[in-house]
Structure 1
Amino acid sequence: MAKKAVEKGLTRKPWVKTTLAPGSKVVTDYFDKAGLTPYLDKVGFNLVGYGCTTCIGNSGPLPDEVSKAVNEADLAVTSVLSGNRNFEGRINPDVKMNYLASPPLVVAYAIAGSMKVNITTDALGTDQEGKPVFLKDIWPTEAEVNDVVANAIGEDMFNKSYQDVFAGDAQWQALPVPTGNTFEWDPESTYVRKPPYFEGLTMDPAPVEDIAGARVLAKLGDSVTTDHISPAGAIKADTPAGKYLTEHGVERRDFNSYGSRRGNHEVMIRGTFANIRLRNQIAPGTEGGFTRDFTQDGGPVSFIYDVSQNYQAAGTPLVILAGKEYGSGSSRDWAAKGTALLGVKAVIAESYERIHRSNLIGMGVLPLQFPEGASALSLGLTGEETYHITGVTALNEGGIPETVKVKAGEVEFDAKVRIDTPGEADYYRNGGIMQYVLRSLIRK
């Protein structure tokens, strides 16, 4: 596709950022052998890395003038990628929408420079003679593709690239390796820190308690994904996570991504509910990780992390209100871990994605469901109420209550308990699956 485009005198539009990040180094070998690399370079698809570079948000920033225009005018700009993740804001913090497409179509849209083009009927550009060039003019035939595959890809390429894959390069081999049977936590590390999951752990779990005096941290709509809850992409400098890294001596160019820093709970807590596209209904007019702080007069708007710290200092438990399909998308464990570490004790949703529901239980967070046909909207919940959830203590008797009673201000309703199996009930009684497993190992 790129070769035929170049031969027609086409290239990407100047406002389009293009990158090439293959899943394997072998791809570079067969592009080179096929003679395609120079053409990809001419269209602008220069090699920037391998693996998850693009879909984890590590393909770098947009040009300064483009980023400035997007943010100043609040533009809805898009990416087109041949990866497998297109969550909102995931590819780049400035890019709101992401479309998945085949690699040839990625090249085509870069040449067209707009998603408003009907790529099947509109011209992508003009050739050297000023004549319109359509997709059909540069689309490779099946025979051309088969010829490249047959002549450019060989077993030797894979053997060469992967025979020493576990040996690493000189930098990897030069890393100091600690000795001993237990991991040595580095208190200065900004990548891996000792998490607080087992602090104060006793051999016998404390009885399950009802939830009293809780406030709403976030009131969310339908189809909130795990990437909205715990984004895996780039870290913005003006967020709590970015400020934490800056305070710990990390320069902006070394922030990396939430996904790469998942071993540091301090970064990940600050990134929970920090997706740039999150809409929290109790903080209308905002977009991103913001909520209202009812520990202060008037409930001012602030970062969700900062507000959660104020609630925890006051000893106030938190709840999340949500719509349908809460926790859809990737089954990311940090979506549940971050929720728990923010002090959230219960989530009340219209429905759940099954793995996220289970993960919440695994972190000691109680998943509840609105009555059939009911929602926060139909019940008149604003998110400003104080919540009391009673009947949870029935779990101490060994069974699973079908419902618990929720009193939110003047509104009362019976919420369905979405602890669906006896095993999940055991995890919840232990405060989470990690505590359950550790206690089980000790008893052995």
Structure 2
Amino acid sequence: MYSDDIAIRVNNLSKCYHIYERPQDRLKQSLYPRFQQLMGRQPSTYFREFWALRDVSFEIKKGETVGIIGRNGSGKSTLLQIICGTLTPTGGTVDTRGRIAALLELGSGFNPEFTGRENVYMNGSILGLSREEMDARFDDIAAFADIGEFIDQPVKTYSSGMYVRLAFAVAVAVEPQIMVVDEALSVGDIRFQNKCLRRLDEIKASGCSILFVSHSSTMIESFCDSVVWLEQGEIRDSGRPNEVVRRYVDYMAHGVNDSGNKSVFDIGIETEQSSNGWEWIRITDQNNVRALDDYAFKRIRVKVGEEPNASRLPCEPTVIEIECEFLALKPIEFPLFAVGIFNELNEPVIHCNSNNLGTRMIPIVDGQLVTCHFKATIPGLRPGKYLLAIGMDEGLLGAHQLLCHVYDAWVFQVLSPRSGRIQGGYVQVQDATINLQIMKGDRQ
């Protein structure tokens, strides 16, 4: 049964392409196998198979926004084209409910010889809208696209930004039940991107389901309800945006291979008792470690103000002190120690290292266990959860080699201020004043 709250259902979807090494192989494949089959022989093949998608299954509810992430060539665009009906699958099924408006790769959907106005009406007719319905919408489309007199010029004269402006304006104006966006918004400037995201929020609130592909982790995490991670045509992971995207970034940028369902904010810790209460926390595989075989952070401890290993910070400037033990089985001539604080969107809120702080670290000899000490006053952060990362590299900034990085060394939470008033942005300003001065004079 097809549930009433499901807008898109993808079931065991697969797509296989035939790759030919030479043009003549395509002709051979179209002729020879048929003769061989008629003669009772096993047909020959003159191609190799490339599976762009293999057994992909998921559902999208009405009003839900789902992000699709993955490296180039992972099958994202192929998946969207099959959902939109512009590609035929090799196997599996796609069921959709409602009118679909799509923003696929730049250049699709518009006739380059037609003017912008002619393409608007052509796209409307393709989506089942009458001339009268498009007449009623045209002024809004032209105003949103904001390309001026170019609306009556051939599309082939448009810049990429003008093209995507008009394409998006048409897509949102036809009141779709399903919206498919494939990296198109990355072409526009930041003002237009924000304008598009506000409009997507509006159509999402109206009950439209949105399938969204982007390489921007920030955009995916802030806009989507859930995420599907494609890798070599298969679903590698899916779930909450902040968790899946963090695992994806760790895998792509840091080489950390962890696609489990564990939240990075629920890492286990192993502590060692200390006489002064400042306990050591052992570094384990749960901390998302990437390292060469001869280097390792063994343990870490953190102090917030005078409170050892505090996991809750106030929403105000705070002194943080970090100690960590690092073991080097091979010498390091130019040690480079780094500390970073990342928010739930995996964005670096704070990142500094011994080089840009002007600290010259002494060389480390082989077999030496050293203690790295870091102390700083960090600004008041926006309330939420954060991760502390530490790293040791060899070399100078801009020309260094990774030795050991611990991406989830410590988890902490910044509490809301007692007043309950939370500022926007990454950090909270302190001791700010705002005054309104009434100028003398007659009312205008």
Higher strand share: 2
Rg: which structure is higher? 2
Higher helix share: 1
TM-score band (shorter)?
Answer: under 0.3
User: What's the TM-score once normalised by structure 1's chain length?
Assistant: 0.25
